[in-house]
A and B are shown apart, each in its own frame.
Chain A
Amino acid sequence: RKEVEQDPGPFNVPEGATVAFNCTYSNSASQSFFWYRQDCRKEPKLLMSVYSSGNEDGRFTAQLNRASQYISLLIRDSKLSDSATYLCVVVMNTGFQKLVFGTGTRLLVSP
């Protein structure tokens, strides 16, 4: 089983739609969780951290369920500029901190 799993997509949605991505992780000792965004041929950029209480940043909402080892990202009112690959990132402490990336979920927002 992969350490971090995501549905690769692509998710094709129209502008204005609400879309959700899920991510599961296998190591229950995982410490921190993030969502990153990666545009084609560019480096990943931090979108938001994910907290147990859930957190929101504008149109983006992240949720963490430690019991189910599950992370989600919700995007409301999708914009064309939201088209990208969204990477779920889990930080594990294996003696030192180690970042593990999911394969990413590709989102395509169309007019």
Chain B
Amino acid sequence: GAVVSQHPSWVICKSGTSVKIECRSLDFQATTMFWYRQFPKQSLMLMATSNEGSKATYEQGVEKDKFLINHASLTLSTLTVTSAHPEDSSFYICSAGTGANYGYTFGSGTRLTVV
């Protein structure tokens, strides 16, 4: 089946530094990748939709200059959390579509802790 590889699985960084998260679709081409954030005991909240070759579309309230998304190829999308702060600590997950009736495959998630 379709697999999305997400790295790193977890990262601890100092406040003020930037962290890059990668998502790769391993056996299919993902024209669209979704980026979500999940705080403890809450649901997944869509942050942005990443389209290959064009600018990402951000949800209301998500700072595009803070969460930089790059989708340069059909198999790779990256999310960079710039100047991370403790309140950015969360579980970040990507997802790519494999066809509307077949669901969406998720990466394994990245647990970010900013200290």
Q: How near does chain A come to B104, taking the closest CB pair, in angstroms?
A: 6
Do A97 and B106 have beta carbons less than 8 Å apart?
A: no
Known: A45-B106, A99-B95. A91 touches B43 (CB 8 A): no
Question: Which residues of chain B have C-beta atoms less than 8 A from A103's C-beta?
Answer: 42-43
For the side of the interface on A, what is the size category? 20 to 34
Find A44's partner among B44, B49, B111 (CB 8 Å cutoff).
B44
Q: Is the interface of A mostly helix, strand, loop or mixed?
A: strand
Do B43 and A102 have beta carbons less than 8 Å apart?
A: yes
Question: Which residues of chain B have C-beta atoms less than 8 A from A45's C-beta?
Answer: 106
- The answer to the question of A43 belonging to the interface, with a C-beta cut-off of 8 Å to chain B, is yes
Do A99 and B51 have beta carbons less than 8 Å apart?
A: no
Q: How near does chain B come to A94, taking the closest CB pair, in angstroms?
A: 9
Q: Which of B51, B95, B97, B103 lies at the interface centre, i.e. has the most chain A CB atoms within 10 A of its CB?
A: B103
Q: How near does chain A come to B25, taking the closest CB pair, in angstroms?
A: 15
A46 CA / B107 CA spacing, docked (Å): 12
Within 8 A of A (CB), among B74-106: 91, 93, 95, 97, 100-106
Do A34 and B103 have beta carbons less than 8 Å apart?
A: yes
**Number of residues on chain B facing chain A (CB within 8 A):** 26
Q: How near does chain A come to B94, taking the closest CB pair, in angstroms?
A: 9
| Closest 9 A/B residue pairs (Cβ) | A46-B103, A103-B43, A43-B106, A101-B44, A43-B109, A32-B100, A101-B43, A104-B43, A43-B108
11 intermolecular pairs with C-beta atoms under 8 Å apart: A42-B109, A43-B93, A43-B109, A44-B106, A46-B104, A49-B103, A96-B49, A97-B100, A98-B46, A100-B46, A103-B43
Other than the given A32-B100, A97-B100, 14 more pairs (CB < 8 A) read: A31-B100, A32-B101, A41-B91, A43-B93, A44-B44, A46-B103, A89-B104, A97-B32, A98-B46, A101-B36, A101-B43, A102-B43, A103-B42, A104-B43
User: What is the interface of chain A, defined by CB distance below 8 A to chain B?
Assistant: 31-32, 34, 36, 41-46, 49, 87, 89, 91, 96-104
